[in-house]
Amino acid sequence: MRFKRVLATGLAATMLVGALAGCGQGKKSASTDSGKTDGKESITLWTYPIGNWGKSETVDKLIASFNEKYPDIKVTVQYLDYKTGDDQVNTAIEGKKAPDLIMEGPERLVANWGAKGLMVDLADMFAKDAAKDFYPNITAACKSSDGKYYEYPLCMVAHCMAINKAKFEKANALQYLDLENHTWTTENYLKAVKALAESGQGADVTAVYCSGQGGDQGTRALVNNLYKGRFTNTEHTQYTVNSEANIKALQALKDTKGVKFDPSIAGGDEITLFRNGTLAISNCWNASQQNDSKNGEAGKTNNGDEIIPMQFPSSDGKAELCGGIWGFGIFNNGSQSKIEAAKKFIDFMANDQTQTKKSVLESGFFPAHKDLGDVYTGQANEKVMKMFTEKFMPSMGDYYQVVPGWATARTEWWNMLQRVGAGGDIANEVKTFDTNANAAAAKK
């Protein structure tokens, strides 16, 4: 059954679809089967920290709803983080103890584990009516190069950047922003960074963080947007960082006072430095960060400065934002009954007309079903989410994170940024990136 269409037609027509790194330690819950069950089937769900899907108190309630409909399926959950989660999954795979279900994005489910032949093809789920209203680029991102679907999507977001309004006011730099549309040009971005650096912010206006892959969508978007470069080709078969546009962008960042190439931090660390006032600009932001109230009022730094989300700067002021897509995949552990149970779980969480809104709401992101509409109406963060829906989501660009060799490419990216920051020749460094990343892509 299709969802009732409630999303504005203009947004649906203009939407182009492409987590932030978690910092908690992975942990395993006790049995999270909250309904009556006779143990006819048991499945395991491993989930990365995708909003409240990383919290046991939330997931327990979601599974309790599932068990009201399916009391004979017991679900046990393990919570992963982005520092150790991949190692935990890979160790489980090697030990032939992979989870039945896993929740994350196409980078892992499609381009990594799916490409290795470890995941179940979900083509039968995509053939049903419930999948017909997914944004086309989301459907494409969930499909591998061999035509198999290894992820069933639940939610998505457009990643962006953010500024400290008080610091910009002090530096008289708000003049360089289009605050109505949350956009700026490359020229004005560089002027703003210079003004902030000269106003007392010094070298710590913004960071090109590169200690690891956490939050790397921010550094990719920053570099690629400045002069309209690309990370991959449009066919998603080759890495194309070695271009005149990207070399020019890296050189501009390296030459600009206030831009710090920092090999000691990743995305999560950068967010902390932005929230505590050390940095004036964050390159690792999205709606979930804007709504975060763990350290104080949402939309404010720790000391109460207003945070303004911004699109990445580009030569013409029209950015293409990196997107995040999250959903479910099933490891093929040799049990057809577990596979069928896992499909029931996915269908309930991602397609049930009553449940799916709740499932998306707990992610803190936006629905993959365009017909589901605005799930945040009446919520405390309704205004913020409406702003992101109108000002950011239509700028979501190509979801290229499914090119073969993606895991290697991510490592090569932050290693390249470290070398550029240390004084390496930029033309040589981007050439090295392309050579190594494309060699990995060729292996598939």
Q: pLDDT tens digit string along 65-75?
A: 999 999 999 99
Give the model's pLDDT for residue 444.
64
Mean local confidence (pLDDT), 356-369 = 94
Altogether, the residues listed in the chain come to a count of 444
3-state secondary structure of 148: coil
Is residue 143 scored above 80 in pLDDT? Answer: yes
Are residues 166 and 242 both part of a single domain? yes
Is residue 32 scored above 70 in pLDDT? Answer: no
What letter does residue 111 receive in the DSSP assignment?
A: I
CA dihedral 258, 259, 261, 265 (to 10 degrees): 80
Are residues 355 and 376 both part of a single domain? yes
DSSP secondary structure string for all residues of 119-163: B---HHHHTSGGGTTB-HHHHHHTB-TTS-B--EEEEEEE-EEEE
Is residue 15 scored above 60 in pLDDT? Answer: no
Is residue 14 scored above 90 in pLDDT? Answer: no
Which pLDDT tens digit goes with each residue over 100-133? 999 999 999 998 999 899 999 999 999 999 999 9
Are residues 284 and 329 both part of a single domain? no
Domain span at residue 290 reads 160-320+404-443
Mean local confidence (pLDDT), 202-217 = 95
Are residues 153 and 169 both part of a single domain? no
Mean local confidence (pLDDT), 46-72 = 96
Which has more confidence, 26 or 299? 299
3-state secondary structure of 310: strand
Give the model's pLDDT for residue 373.
83
Residues 6+ away with beta carbon under 8 Å from 229 = 223, 240, 241, 243, 245, 246, 249
Are residues 166 and 307 both part of a single domain? yes
Residues 6+ away with beta carbon under 8 Å from 213 = 266, 410, 411, 413, 414
Are residues 199 and 142 both part of a single domain? no
Is residue 286 scored above 50 in pLDDT? Answer: yes
CA distance 255 to 257: 7
Are residues 38 and 107 both part of a single domain? yes
Are residues 429 and 313 both part of a single domain? yes
Mean pLDDT: which of 11-15, 213-217, 341-345, 440-444 is highest?
341-345
How much of the chain, in percent, has pLDDT values that exceed 90?
A: 82
Which of 13-22, 231-240, 375-384 is the least confident region? 13-22
- The CATH number for 50's domain is 3.40.190.10
- What's the chain's average pLDDT? 90
Mean local confidence (pLDDT), 35-54 = 82
Give the model's pLDDT for residue 208.
98
Please indicate, yes or no, if residue 394 is contained in any of the structural domains: no
Are residues 108 and 256 both part of a single domain? no
Both tokens of residue 369?
A: 């079903």
Please indicate, yes or no, if residue 16 is contained in any of the structural domains: yes
Picking from 362, 115, 319, the residue whose alpha carbon sits closest to that of residue 223 is: 319
Please indicate, yes or no, if residue 49 is contained in any of the structural domains: yes
Is residue 242 scored above 90 in pLDDT? Answer: yes
Pairing state between β 307-310 and 160-164: antiparallel
Please indicate, yes or no, if residue 3 is contained in any of the structural domains: no
Per the listing, tokens 């997931």 go with: 59
Which pLDDT tens digit goes with each residue over 168-203? 999 999 999 999 999 999 999 999 999 999 999 999
Are residues 261 and 180 both part of a single domain? yes
Please indicate, yes or no, if residue 392 is contained in any of the structural domains: no
Are residues 311 and 373 both part of a single domain? no
User: How many domains, the chain?
Assistant: 2
CA distance 218 to 321: 9
Please indicate, yes or no, if residue 366 is contained in any of the structural domains: yes
Is residue 284 scored above 90 in pLDDT? Answer: yes
**DSSP alpha helix (H) spans, 155-300:** 165-170, 186-196, 216-226, 244-255, 267-275, 287-290
Is residue 22 scored above 50 in pLDDT? Answer: no
Please indicate, yes or no, if residue 388 is contained in any of the structural domains: no
What is the chain's Cα-based Rg?
21
Which pLDDT tens digit goes with each residue over 394-442? 999 989 998 989 989 999 999 999 999 999 999 999 999 999 999 999 9
Are residues 422 and 312 both part of a single domain? yes
Of the pLDDT bands very low, low, confident and very high (cuts 50, 70, 90), residue 137 is confident
Residues 6+ away with beta carbon under 8 Å from 121 = 148, 149, 150
Give the model's pLDDT for residue 146.
84
Other Cβ atoms closer than 10 A to 51: 21
How much of the chain, in percent, has pLDDT values that exceed 70?
A: 91
Mean local confidence (pLDDT), 204-208 = 97
End-to-end Cα distance, the chain: 37
Which of 61-65, 132-136, 197-201, 274-278 is the least confident region? 132-136
